[in-house]
Structure 1
Amino acid sequence: MPKYNLQVKAELARVEQFQPASAAEYEFHLLLACAHCKESTGKHVNFSLQDEADIPGGRGVANFVAKCKLCSRDFSIEIIKGSIVPYKSSSNNGFATIASFECRGVELTGFEPASGWTVVAEETGTTFTDVDLSEEFAEYDEKASEPVGISSLESRFVVSK
């Protein structure tokens, strides 16, 4: 079963790191395609680590379970526990994995960051909560008397076995 590593790349300005505010509660917004017929969901599906659904046929549980609308095959996605990690300043302007997913019968084709992120400023540790990264983030760190920001956010999936 393939493992999809969600990687992001961003230009950070005086930002130490950013990550989902709560790894268990953060809802990933993903575009999917059936691994068999390649039919796309057409819109983002949302699920979190705390979501659980039974996999048809009694094969356990996953965080997201659905059926392809075109070929009617079942598919499931499980967020790998412990794989949700922050994007750190050491990766500035380079791709780094922030989450991993085990997929059965489905391919991950897109990611929308949306809201629910926590951003930590360099030097002062000032924390900005419920940040929406679907657009550029720009704030002012009062303690440092400096602006902080995240821009040029890109994402991709790297598949491994």
Structure 2
Amino acid sequence: MRYFDDFAAGDRFTGGPLEVTSAEIMAYAERFDPQPFHLDPEAARETLFKGLAASGWHTAGLTMRMIVGSTAGLAGGYIGMGVDSINWPRPTRPGDVLRIEMEVIEARRSVKRPDQGVLKVTTTTLNQKDEVVQVMTANLLAPARPA
């Protein structure tokens, strides 16, 4: 496991792969984002997406799953302090095989709590064609190495 002290700006990590199925897209949509382009392949053809597409929030959840299993190995878990930005430049589709690339943008020790630091990380989610389906920049709380 890595502690705050083990990270520096420019460090890169990877995660995945994770395959996305139609059933998963529709199940997520049924519960959390019930729109035709997420729920019904036939109806989705008549929408902006021209076919079934995962909710952006589903893609974000899949990304989180890959972050947890990534090569970063953050001690104490991935505790989010906030998301600066999240973008979905193209939809996630059934059959996509996703992977992530993470880059530490900034590592700053907490002034109030020197036993912790904040990592600003940009995570790019790509499909099997190396097309970007999501870019997220978030701040993570990271414990410092125990004395």
Could you tell me the TM-score, scaled by structure 2's length?
A: 0.29
Give 1 or 2: higher helix fraction.
Answer: 2
User: Which one scores higher on RCO, CA 8 angstroms, separation ≥ 6?
Assistant: 1
Give 1 or 2: higher strand fraction.
Answer: 1
Could you tell me the TM-score, scaled by structure 1's length?
A: 0.27
